[in-house]
């Protein structure tokens, strides 16, 4: 079953604008990761945020995590056409010994030049 | 070098064929994974190998048979597949099979079953 649910499912913006994608999950997690996937390609790891962290930055990416609301957001600032891709959040549940990375349904981001 | 290499990139096979997908990493990672991804869907975990031993099989049909010959290689043997098995098969690896490890993915192998 899918753990994360991204919102929106699709997002279209103009180059230079900021893009915000949200992810909600259902059970307690140890960490949450964001991945990017260009059409028909493999997944590229973007950022990992641990459950005891609230915010993390990497270049033009900003990720927040609110464990009380079981939600995370990915902000891409000053977007570029090359940012066009699907973005997935993925979680690893806390507890137990089966560390399975479970993906949400993804947000398809289109950045128009 | 964070690279997971998968071959072939594209594979077309008949329902009676036997073929294999191959995955290689030279990052010294001790955990390797197979994921399956259908069009417009998220990846779904199939198998996890940790230290060359199968740790998770997500109730995958026996027509998919994984093999980990050594710590750098992971194969997925395919036999008697169905058209609905057509998908992108992604291999991944991580330092270890523990919480907090970044998982690195290959570019995938596109499989079409005819």
Chain B residues whose CB is inside 8 A of the A31 CB are: 99-100
Of the candidates B102, B109, B107, B108, the residue with the CA atom closest to the CA atom of residue B29: B102
| pLDDT confidence bin for A4, thresholds 50/70/90 | low
d(CA A59, CA B86): 37
Contacts of A18 (CB under 8 A, 6+ apart): A75, A76, A77, A78, A79
How many Cβ pairs closer than 8 A exist between chain A and B? 55
**Is B41 in Cβ contact with A105 (below 8 Å)?**
yes
* Segment 16-55 of chain B within 8 Å of chain A by CB: 33, 41-45, 48
Q: For residue A99, give the nearest of B90, B99, B110 by CB distance.
A: B99
If one counts every other C-beta atom within 10 angstroms of the C-beta of residue A94, the result is: 13
Question: Does the structure show a pLDDT above 80 at B77?
Answer: yes
pLDDT the model gives residue B2: 60
HEC sequence for chain B = CCCEEEECCEEEECCCCEEEEEEEECCCCCEEEEEEECCCCCCEEEEEEECCEEEEECCCCCCEEEEEEECCEEEEEEECCCHHHCEEEEEEEECCCCCCCCCEECCCEEEEEC
Cα B14 to chain centroid, rounded: 19
Q: What percent of chain A has pLDDT over 90?
A: 70
CB B21 within 8 A of CB B87: no
Q: Does B56 touch chain A (CB under 8 A)?
A: yes
What pLDDT shows up at residue A2? 45
Residue B1 has pLDDT above 60, yes or no: no
Q: What is the reported pLDDT for A93?
A: 72
Rounded Cα distance between A45 and A77, Å, is 18
**pLDDT (tens digit per residue) in B35-50:** 999 998 999 999 999 9
Determine the distance in angstroms separating the CA of A33 from the nearest CA of chain B, rounded to an integer.
Answer: 8
């Amino acid at each position: 079953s899918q753990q994360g649910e991204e919102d929106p499912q699709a997002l279209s913006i103009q180059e230079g604008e900021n893009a915000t994608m949200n992810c909600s999950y259902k059970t307690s997690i140890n960490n949450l990761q964001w991945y990017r996937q260009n059409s028909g390609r493999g997944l590229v790891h973007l950022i990992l945020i641990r459950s005891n962290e609230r915010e993390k930055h990497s270049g033009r990416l900003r990720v927040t995590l609110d464990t009380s609301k079981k939600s995370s957001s990915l902000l891409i600032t000053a977007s570029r056409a090359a940012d066009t891709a699907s973005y997935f959040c993925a979680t690893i549940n806390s507890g137990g010994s089966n560390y399975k990375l479970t993906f949400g349904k993804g947000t398809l981001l289109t950045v128009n030049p | 070098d964070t690279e997971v290499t998968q071959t072939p990139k594209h594979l077309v096979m008949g329902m009676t064929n036997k073929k294999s997908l191959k995955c290689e990493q030279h990052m010294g990672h001790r955990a390797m994974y197979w994921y399956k991804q259908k069009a417009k869907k998220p990846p779904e975990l199939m198998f996890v190998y940790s230290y060359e031993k199968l740790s998770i099989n997500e109730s995958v049909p026996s027509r998919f048979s994984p093999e980990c010959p050594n710590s750098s290689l992971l194969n997925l043997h395919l036999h008697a597949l169905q058209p609905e098995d057509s998908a992108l098969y992604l291999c991944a690896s991580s330092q270890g099979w523990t919480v907090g490890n970044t998982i690195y993915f290959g570019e995938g192998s596109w499989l079409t079953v005819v």
